[in-house]
Amino acid sequence: MNLIRLSKSSVGNEEIRAVTQVLREGYLGMGEQVKQFEINLEKFFGRKVLCVSTGTSALQLALQACGIGSGDEVIVPSLTYIASFQAISATGAKPVACDVDASSLIIDSNDVEKRITKKTRAIMPVHYSGGVGELEKIYSIAKKYKLRVIEDAAHAFGTIHKNQLVGSFGDIVCFSFDGIKNITSGEGGCVVSNDKKLMKVIEDLRLLGVENDSANRYKNIRSWSFDVKHLGWRYHMSNIMASIGMVQLKKFEKLSQKRQALAKRYDDKLRGIGNVLPLSRDYDFVVPHIYVIILSKKINRSLLMTCLLKLGIQTGIHYYPNHLLTLFKSAYKLKNTEDIHQRILTLPLHPEMKLKDIDYICSQLESIVRN
């Protein structure tokens, strides 16, 4: 029996050719390919883009470039990948966990406002499973309290919100191109912003703080005399990664339509099945990275996961709440997150799946949860 994987990179001959080309040229690090990928992404988003090594480093660099560090607090939903929390910690700042809306699983703006203190410097909304929720509310809170907004858009590459592409608006927007995201560059990520001063800082920070090194590297030239004024990191993207990313960006229309078609099929098939509730997302506009359902209380999730795996269906849990982890333990409760985290289940979603895979998964799921 073939295993239907929870997620999977979707790469083919074009990506193989692109990587081979870079290998033949023999300039593997950060160079012309990275510059070209950034130019292509800038056309996509309509504003300045910097590519980096991972989505996590994109978040860390964005925070650091805002001057956020030790003694500062950043509000972030607990229901996210550990990367969001560790990126904040990496700057020396404290991640302050907040709750999500119980039905969308997206950051709850009312709870955000409750978590604001004198130390709060930024809000990091997470576009869970591709949806952005009421992002305007987050921006109006940020304006009221003079906070920065660093959007963790790792799940939302390609999502349209009120006629605007996520990343084409907003303060600072960070994407991930890791192997299973909506597009991949192997590993990788990017920062998108209109803040020119901030982007200049990030450009240097990603190359160990070496001033103006990016401009040389774009031309495949090294800098031999330079100044360094800030703590920096080796977080640049390589030509190998960029060459994969460029092919994926070119294919994005196809990749995103596939993800949307699969998610719509799940919605159709699962509607009306008792004991499972799909998240409410409009897949004409949302490009889903994961497909999550909420199980009713009487369903034993781990048993369900075991049964599905025996039927060749791999499932997952996105995510175990960060505020319940030893490192990030909070002194307060987050009602919705704590109510829901034991009942969420992620079903397989990747562009190489077929509609009939979805039909198979849904019929197996139905027969298990019905009993």
Ligand X SMILES: *Cc1c(COP(=O)(O)O)cnc(C)c1O
- Phi, psi angle pair for 115, to nearest 5°: -90, 0
Spell 35-48 as b/e; 16+ CB within 10 A means b: bbbbebbeebbebb
Nearest to 181 by CA among 202, 200, 156, 161: 156
Binding residue for ligand X (CB under 6 A) from 109, 120, 176, 336? 176
Q: Shortest distance, CB of residue 89 to ligand X, whole angstroms?
A: 13
56/174 Cα distance (integer angstroms): 9
56 binds ligand X (CB under 6 A): yes
CB atoms within 10 A of CB 5: 15
Binding residue for ligand X (CB under 6 A) from 48, 115, 121, 155? 155
**Nearest residue (CB) to ligand X, 62 versus 313:** 62
Q: Shortest distance, CB of residue 201 to ligand X, whole angstroms?
A: 20
The token pair at 363 is 């019929």
Q: Shortest distance, CB of residue 57 to ligand X, whole angstroms?
A: 7
80 binds ligand X (CB under 6 A): yes
54 binds ligand X (CB under 6 A): yes
Residues 6+ apart with CB under 8 A from 5: 314, 348, 350
Q: Shortest distance, CB of residue 37 to ligand X, whole angstroms?
A: 15
Q: Binding pattern to ligand X, positions 113-132, x when CB under 6 A?
A: -------------x------
55 binds ligand X (CB under 6 A): yes
Nearest to 160 by CA among 44, 278, 52, 41: 44
84 binds ligand X (CB under 6 A): yes
152 binds ligand X (CB under 6 A): yes
**Nearest residue (CB) to ligand X, 56 versus 238:** 56
**Nearest residue (CB) to ligand X, 130 versus 365:** 130
Is the Cα dihedral 370, 101, 80, 96 positive or negative?
negative
Is the Cα dihedral 59, 61, 64, 65 positive or negative?
negative
31 binds ligand X (CB under 6 A): no
248 binds ligand X (CB under 6 A): no
User: In 3-state terms, what secondary structure has residue 145?
Assistant: helix
**Nearest residue (CB) to ligand X, 64 versus 176:** 176
Q: Shortest distance, CB of residue 80 to ligand X, whole angstroms?
A: 5
**Nearest residue (CB) to ligand X, 99 versus 369:** 99
26/233 Cα distance (integer angstroms): 24
Binding residue for ligand X (CB under 6 A) from 83, 98, 207, 293? 83
**Nearest residue (CB) to ligand X, 291 versus 362:** 291
323/172 Cα distance (integer angstroms): 24
Residues at the site binding ligand X, with contacts judged by CB under 6 A: 54-56, 80-81, 83-84, 126, 152, 154-155, 176, 178, 189
